Amino acid sequence: MPKSRQPQDYYDKIKEKFQDERNLRMDYRPPGTVQFTSDLTGDLEKYAIDPQAGEVPSRDPIEDSVEVLFIGGGFSALLTSARLRQKGVEDIRIVERGADVGGTWYWNRYPGVACDVVGYDYLPLLDELDYVPVNHYSRGPEIFAHCQAIAKKYNLYELAEFNTTVTSTIWNEAEALWHVKTDRGDLMRAQFVICANGTLAKPKLSKINGMKTFKGHAFHSSRWDYEFTGRNLENLKDKRVGIIGTGASAVQIVPELGKTAKEVYVFQRTPSSIDVRKDWPTDPNWARKLEPGWQAKRREKVLAAVELSPSKKAELDALTKDEKLQQQENGNIDYMMRIHKRIDEIVEDKTTADALKPWYMFMCKRPCFHNDYLPAFNLPNVHLVDTKGKGITEINEKGPVFEGEEYELDVLIYATGFEVQQTGIYNSIVGKDDVNLSDKYEDGIRTLLGIHTAGFPNLFIMGGYQASFQFNLTDMLQTQGDHIAACIDYVRSNGFRTIDPSYEAEEWWVQEVIKHRGKTSRSEECTPGYYNMEGASQRRQDGNYNGGFRQYFKHQGEVRERISECFNLEKH
Ligand code: NDP
């Protein structure tokens, strides 16, 4: 950790400013998610419509049985299915709301969509598919095509049902099967069900007075309407476009809008931190020399790189807890001030540059990396409407209104994010003794490894709370997929029918999660956002496992080693 570069007073003043900026935002809005709605029905139904699906073919309801059923067809399902196939599981069905596999990468087709994790690490199963991404950072269409390639390779299209939303998943004790019902009238029975519905899948809108009165066109960033904008946004050249939100999606969209639209208004509540994106086309000579197993080795190296060397560790161990915290915070502030400096160097208008500066610790919000976002504000057609933490609170038939000024628009894009890490977003999950999962979680989330939950036999959860968070999400999902495939394989090869975590094992994990959460007050001090549940106070168990990714991985292995102690395994 670098030594502090400035006198302590400098850091203390910045910390105070961070606190003021947080308080300002907390004063403007209620904490938590009540400021948003993801109930996209009635007047808001248009925001949920899938523009990719086209004409949905009609079909008769299905009534059948499969061995493994995935709710959701994104990376969680694809990665786990690949492992299940390798273990000889034939009967796998993906049930997916969209018209294809891909999850996030199916829905998010907005212009400029790309991944902020290096493609050689993010795109999974590169060895298995004998594929090397075309750039250091992959664009959305390449990732979507990779998802389709995985589904083809592992023959997952055969039993898949698209344009189908699971509405209830109910355990039938007599049959020892899950009964899965959908919005297409299906009743699918499955021995194993995997909730693979994604971490950020259900779009949400900020509740803004008058939003329904807007007469122009409007859509959510994850439902991009190319019919309106044109494939290359050519229809926007005579249009006034507004975008609400400046998170990771908007940061990728704004530069594209800036290239084509007549006028672009970016409505900002809290700026994102924007760092450089070091991108390059893959060197074919490098790619040619890669040997089997290269991706696993690379991922291992990336994980090892964030671990401290023995000398650094000794240096840190010599400090008191407070000294350690202070060093960490000062280093964090130095980083954020470099982000500010970059803004000053790029953005020509001083008022705009100042408004784009994020005043919070690094990682309070999801960091962004883009080379064209800040320069876009030098374009004459791109205007930042900085709401100074307040946000847009009023929209009339012409467009958003801020401080009495009306912004007349032809189209308004909501880049306002998604519901976070909800298990069973459109789906009511009912386990043994008619217990609904949401009722079980009423007094706090209870799982083993964030994957299993007692009373819900043969049900597995991916990407939910109480699992470790990884910036490279596919790394985390791969470990969960490997673990789930190993559990299912164990049940099948030992003649069992069900696997259900014991109360003791679940309680152990809940306590592990609690123990490792909130080691500092950082989360409470952060500006509100989805990383800290929008500033709402939260139970210590209702979040991610913060004991470290490698430790999480190790615990998965230990649970599998002690599988007969950690689970009730029954033959029925
Ligand atoms: P976010 O939740 O990150 O951002 C929502 C934005 O909307 C915030 O800037 C928020 O402001 C703003 N907002 C909400 N209400 C209002 C309002 N009334 N007025 C003005 N602004 C408002 O959503 P995104 O879709 O941008 O990103 C979601 C996540 O998806 C990312 O964090 C990331 O994890 C993932 N993603 C990943 C990518 C990748 O590279 N892999 C690319 C894109 C997205 P405030 O901050 O004040 O709440």
The letter for the amino acid at 158 is E
Backbone angles phi, psi at 182, to 5 degrees: -130, 175
Residue 72 near residue 100 (C-beta atoms within 8 A): no
pLDDT tens readout for residues 425-451: 899 999 999 999 999 999 999 999 999
Average pLDDT of the segment spanning 322-335: 93
Taken in order 362, 21, 370, 470, the sign of the CA dihedral is positive
Confidence label for 523 from pLDDT (cuts 50, 70 and 90) = confident
pLDDT tens readout for residues 233-251: 999 999 999 999 999 999 9
Alpha-carbon gap, residue 214 to 228, rounded angstroms: 16
Confidence label for 281 from pLDDT (cuts 50, 70 and 90) = very high
Determine the Cα angle at 454 with ends 91 and 199, to 5°: 65
The residue nearest atom 6 of ligand 1, judged by CA position, is 245
- Give residue 270 CA to ligand 1 midpoint distance, Å: 10
Q: For a ligand 1 pocket test, name from 416, 470, 473 the mutation site with the most ligand atoms within 8 angstroms of its C-beta.
A: 416
Determine the Cα angle at 84 with ends 192 and 556, to 5°: 80
- Give residue 421 CA to ligand 1 midpoint distance, Å: 15
Ligand 1 atom closest to residue 114's alpha carbon, by position in its atom list? 40
Ligand 1 atom closest to residue 417's alpha carbon, by position in its atom list? 23
Asked if residue 1 has pLDDT above 60, the reply is: no
- Give residue 362 CA to ligand 1 midpoint distance, Å: 16
531 or 561, greater pLDDT:
561
Asked if residue 424 has pLDDT above 90, the reply is: no
Query: What is the pLDDT at residue 423?
Result: 85
Query: What is the pLDDT at residue 340?
Result: 98
What is the per-residue DSSP string for 188-249?
EEEEEEEE---SS-SB-EE--BTGGG--SEEEEGGG--HHHH-TTSGGGTT-EEEEE--SHH
Asked if residue 490 has pLDDT above 60, the reply is: yes
Tokens representing 261 are 């639209």
The residue nearest atom 1 of ligand 1, judged by CA position, is 417
From 292-306, 372-386, 407-421, 494-508, the region with the lowest mean pLDDT: 292-306
| Residues whose CB falls within 8 Å of the CB of residue 70, separated by 6 or more in sequence, listed in order | 76, 77, 80, 81, 92, 93, 94, 95, 193, 194, 196
Query: What is the pLDDT at residue 438?
Result: 95
Confidence label for 321 from pLDDT (cuts 50, 70 and 90) = confident
- Give residue 416 CA to ligand 1 midpoint distance, Å: 5
Residue 97 near residue 426 (C-beta atoms within 8 A): yes
Query: What is the pLDDT at residue 2?
Result: 58
The residue nearest atom 4 of ligand 1, judged by CA position, is 247
pLDDT tens readout for residues 306-315: 777 888 888 8
- Give residue 59 CA to ligand 1 midpoint distance, Å: 37
Residue 560 near residue 487 (C-beta atoms within 8 A): yes
Query: What is the pLDDT at residue 533?
Result: 86
- Give residue 375 CA to ligand 1 midpoint distance, Å: 20
Alpha-carbon gap, residue 274 to 368, rounded angstroms: 5
- Give residue 205 CA to ligand 1 midpoint distance, Å: 11
Q: Pocket around ligand 1: residues whose beta carbon is below 6 Å from it?
A: 115-116, 200, 206, 208, 221, 244-250, 252, 267, 269-270, 366, 387, 391-392, 415-418, 529-530
The residue nearest atom 35 of ligand 1, judged by CA position, is 248
Classify strands 187-195 and 459-461 as parallel, antiparallel or unpaired.
parallel
Q: For a ligand 1 pocket test, name from 115, 269, 360 the mutation site with the most ligand atoms within 8 angstroms of its C-beta.
A: 269
The residue nearest atom 14 of ligand 1, judged by CA position, is 416
Ligand 1 atom closest to residue 390's alpha carbon, by position in its atom list? 19
Ligand 1 atom closest to residue 391's alpha carbon, by position in its atom list? 19
| Residues whose CB falls within 8 Å of the CB of residue 191, separated by 6 or more in sequence, listed in order | 66, 67, 68, 176, 177, 178, 458, 497
Q: Shortest CA distance to 537 belongs to which of 18, 25, 26?
A: 26
- End-to-end, the C-alpha distance of the chain in Å comes to 56
Query: What is the pLDDT at residue 311?
Result: 85
pLDDT tens readout for residues 71-107: 999 999 999 999 999 999 999 999 999 999 999 999 9
Ligand 1 atom closest to residue 248's alpha carbon, by position in its atom list? 26
Asked if residue 395 has pLDDT above 60, the reply is: yes
Query: What is the pLDDT at residue 30?
Result: 84
Question: If DSSP codes are grouped into helix, strand and coil, which group holds residue 418?
Answer: strand
Average pLDDT of the segment spanning 15-33: 93
CA 396 centroid distance within chain:
31
